[in-house]
Structure 1
C-alpha cells in the first residue's frame, strides 16, 4: 500500500477532492430543494437526472477520449462541473436543476473515466489489488468528509455551492501535474442483456435492484432527512452513516465471499440490510435508530455490488469478464435512474418512511431471488471461484475492467501455486 501511495498519491488526492465536491452537492441539493418548496416527487426527478447523465457518459466519453485525448476531455468536463455547481443557487427552478444534474452526472462520469485510466495505467500487476482498495477507500472517505461541510453556515446561500466548485477545480491540479504519458484507451463492448442473463440471472437482476438502493443512498438520503425534519447536523450524520458502514464492511464480507457459497452470502447480506430498513420504519423515525439502520444498510448494500460482480464472473472465461462487467454496470445504471423516481413517489404517498420502505422491498427481492436461484443450479465450488475485488457503485467501466484484470491475475497466481504444490507433493 505504501508503494501505491508513493506513486499515485497525487491522483488519489485529486479523486478525494472530486468525491468531496460530488458528495456535498448531492446532499446540499436535497436540503436546498426542500427550502425552495420542491416536493419529494420533484426532487426525485432532479436526483434521478444525475444517474441518467452518468449512464450516458459511460457509453459516450470513451469515444470522446479517443478523438481528442484525455487532457482535453478532463479539462472540458471539469470546467462544466464548476460552472454547473455555481449556477444551482442562481437558478432555483426544478427544470434547471434537472438539467444541471444531467450535466453533473455526465461530467463526473467522464472525469472519473479519465482519471481512472491514468491511475490504472500507473498500476502494475503486483499493485493492482492494493490500488483498487486505495481507490475505493478514497471514494468513501471523500463522501464521508463532504457531509461534515454541510453544516457550515451559509448566510448568502451561495457559499456551500462555491465550496464544491472550488474543490473540483483544485482537484485538477494534482492530477494534471502528476500524470505520466497519456495511456492508450480502449473500451469493451458490453454483453447484450440476454447474454448477461443467460450467464448469471442473479447477477443481472441483483445489479438492477441494487442500482435502486445505491441511488437511494446517494441521491435521496438528504431528501429523506429534510422530509423527516432532521437538522443539518443530523442529515450530515445520517448520510455519512451509509458510507461509514460500507467502508467498514467491504473487506470482511469480501474475505467471507472467497470462502463460502457466494449466493448464500448475497442472500444473507441482502436479508440483513432489508431487516435494518424495516427496523428503521418501525422506529417511527427515531434519529439514532435510522442512523443505525443507515450504517447496516450501507454496510450491506455497497459490498453487495462487488459480491454480485464476483459471483457473475465465477461463470465466465477470463476473456469475457470485462464485457460482462460493462453490461452489469449498464443494468445497474438503469436501476439507479429508476430508484429515486420510485422512492419520490413512495415518499409522497406514505411520507418519509417511503424511503426505507423501498430499500426494504429492493433488498427483500434480492434475498428472495438469491434463494430461488439456489434451487436452479449447483454452486461453483469455493476453490474454483474468482477473487473478490472491492468496488464502489460509482466505479466506471475503466476500473471495472481493472478489477477483472486483478481477478484474472489472482486466479492465475492461485493456479500456479496449486500446480507447484502438487508438483512438490508428487516429488
Structure 2
C-alpha cells in the first residue's frame, strides 16, 4: 500500500487542504450570511450559483486546461478560489457573494478535474482501488474537518475567511512544485437526457430528485440551524454528523443493493429519509440534541442514495458506457442541486425554517414512489451480471468530476464482464 501511495502522497496532501478550504468556506458563508440578516432566498442562491458554476466547469474547464496546460490552469483556478475566499471576508455583500460563489463553483470543478486526472495518470490497474479509496477518505476528512473549524472561530470577523485562503494556497503547492509529467488532456462528458432516461428511468428521475433534496439541505442546512437558534459549533456538528454517519452507512447500503433489486433498497432508504424529514416537520424539536439526532437519521439515509442510483444505471449500461452514463448522471445531479436551494429559500421564508424538510421529504417520497413503480415494469439485472456498488459520496454529493470517473476501479471491472441483457 505504501508503494502505491508514495507517488501521489504530495498530491493527496494538497487535496486534503483543498477540501478543508471547501468545507470551511461552504459552511462559513451561510452562517455569516444569517448573522448579517441575509434573506433565505439569497442564502439559497449561494448554493444555486455554486452548483451552476460547477456544472459549467464540467463542460468548459477541460477546454481551458487543454489550452494552457494542467499546472498553469490549476494554479489559476486555485488562486481565483483563494482570492474569492479572502474577498468574501473583506467585502460582505449578499449579491456579490452570490456572483462570486458561481465563479468558485467553476474553479472548483477545474481543480478537482486536474487532481483526479493526475491521480488517474499515476494509478496502475493494481493500485487504482487503493488510490481511489484513499482519495475518497481524504475528501471526507477535509470536508468534515473544514466544517468543524467553524466552531472554533468567530464567524463575524475575517479570521476564518483568511484561514480559507491559507488552506487554498497550501493546496496549490504540491502540483506547482511537482516534477511529474502532466496527465493526458481532460475529457468532457456530454449530457444526453434522452439516452440517460432510456438507459435507466429510475436513475435519471431519482438522481434529479436526490439532487434537489441534497442541494436544498446541503446549502440551507446551516441556514436552518441558525434560524432555529443553534450556535455555530452546533451547526457544524449537525452537518458533520450527517456526513460522517452517511459515510458509515455507504458500505452496508451498497452490500444490500448488491444482494437484491437496487430499486427496493433505493426506495427503502428514500422512505427512511422522508420519514425523518416528516418527523422534524411535525415535532419541530426545540431540544438541540433531539434535533441533531433526527437530522443525523435523515442524513444517514439521504447520503446513501446517489451511489445506489448510479450503480443501478450502470447495471443496464454496456461496459464502454460506464464513464459516459455516470458522468451524465453527475451533471444531472448538478441540475437538481441548482433547483433545490432555489425552491428551499422562498419556502423557508414563507412557512418557516422547518419547512426546508418539506422540500426534501417531497423529493424523497418521489424517489421511493417512482422506484417502486418502475420495479413493476422492468426486471432487475441478475445479481451475477452486476458490477459492485460504487464508493461513497460526501455530504450526499458525488466527490468526482467526469474526469475523476476514470479513476474509479469499476471502470476497469466493467470491461471484464459482458454487458447485461435488457
Q: Flag whether TM exceeds 0.5 (same fold).
A: yes
Measured on the aligned residues, the alpha-carbon RMSD in Å equals 1.8
| 1:156 CA drift (Å) | 6.8
Distance 1:316 1:112 in 2: 26
Structure 1 residues 367 and 27: CA distance shift in structure 2, 3 A: same
Q: How many residues align?
A: 413
Distance 2:179 2:15 in 1: 13
Render the CA deviation track for 1:27-69: whole Å, top value 9, x for unaligned.
Answer: 1111111121111112111221111111110100111111111
Moved more, 239-248 or 215-224: 215-224
* Contact 1:132–1:391 (8 Å) recurs in 2: no
Render the CA deviation track for 1:327-374: whole Å, top value 9, x for unaligned.
Answer: 111111110011111111111121111222211111111111101110
Residue 26 in 1 paired to residue 4 in 2? no
Question: What's 1:321 paired with?
Answer: 322
Question: What's 2:372 paired with?
Answer: 371
* Contact 1:188–1:322 (8 Å) recurs in 2: no
Q: TM-score, normalised by structure 2?
A: 0.93
* Contact 2:322–2:414 (8 Å) recurs in 1: no
Question: What's 1:418 paired with?
Answer: none
Question: What's 2:346 paired with?
Answer: 345
Q: Secondary structure in 1 aligned to 2:222?
A: helix
Distance 2:148 2:192 in 1: 41
Residue 399 in 1 paired to residue 404 in 2? yes
Structure 1 residues 93 and 118: CA distance shift in structure 2, 3 A: same
Structure 1 residues 347 and 177: CA distance shift in structure 2, 3 A: same
Q: Secondary structure in 2 aligned to 1:99?
A: helix
Q: Secondary structure in 2 aligned to 1:134?
A: helix
* Contact 1:42–1:344 (8 Å) recurs in 2: yes
Distance 1:168 1:343 in 2: 30
Question: What's 1:116 paired with?
Answer: 116
Residue 195 in 1 paired to residue 195 in 2? yes
Question: What's 2:163 paired with?
Answer: 163
| 1:376 CA drift (Å) | 1.0
How do 1:4-403 residues align onto structure 2 when only pairs under 5 Å count?
A: 4-154=4-154, 157-178=157-178, 180-285=180-285, 286-392=287-393, 393-403=398-408
Distance 2:102 2:415 in 1: 41
| 1:194 CA drift (Å) | 0.7
Render the CA deviation track for 1:305-346: whole Å, top value 9, x for unaligned.
Answer: 111111101111111222112211111111001111111111
* Contact 2:277–2:298 (8 Å) recurs in 1: yes
Question: What's 1:409 paired with?
Answer: 412
Q: Secondary structure in 2 aligned to 1:103?
A: helix
Distance 1:394 1:189 in 2: 16
Structure 1 residues 143 and 396: CA distance shift in structure 2, 3 A: same
Structure 1 residues 188 and 370: CA distance shift in structure 2, 3 A: same
Unpaired runs of at least 5, structure 2: none
Unpaired runs of at least 5, structure 1: 416-427
| 1:408 CA drift (Å) | 4.2
| 1:240 CA drift (Å) | 0.7
| 1:177 CA drift (Å) | 3.0
Distance 1:310 1:357 in 2: 27
Q: TM-score, normalised by structure 1?
A: 0.92
Q: Secondary structure in 2 aligned to 1:150?
A: helix
* Contact 1:217–1:242 (8 Å) recurs in 2: no
Render the CA deviation track for 1:91-138: whole Å, top value 9, x for unaligned.
Answer: 222220111101111111111111111011111112222222222221
Distance 1:34 1:189 in 2: 37
Render the CA deviation track for 1:134-171: whole Å, top value 9, x for unaligned.
Answer: 22221111111112210233387110100011001011
Distance 1:255 1:156 in 2: 44
* Contact 2:151–2:234 (8 Å) recurs in 1: no
| 1:12 CA drift (Å) | 1.6
* Contact 2:65–2:186 (8 Å) recurs in 1: no
Distance 1:352 1:156 in 2: 22
* Contact 2:20–2:146 (8 Å) recurs in 1: yes
Q: Secondary structure in 2 aligned to 1:148?
A: helix
Distance 1:61 1:412 in 2: 28
* Contact 1:196–1:327 (8 Å) recurs in 2: yes
Distance 2:246 2:220 in 1: 17
Structure 1 residues 314 and 371: CA distance shift in structure 2, 3 A: same
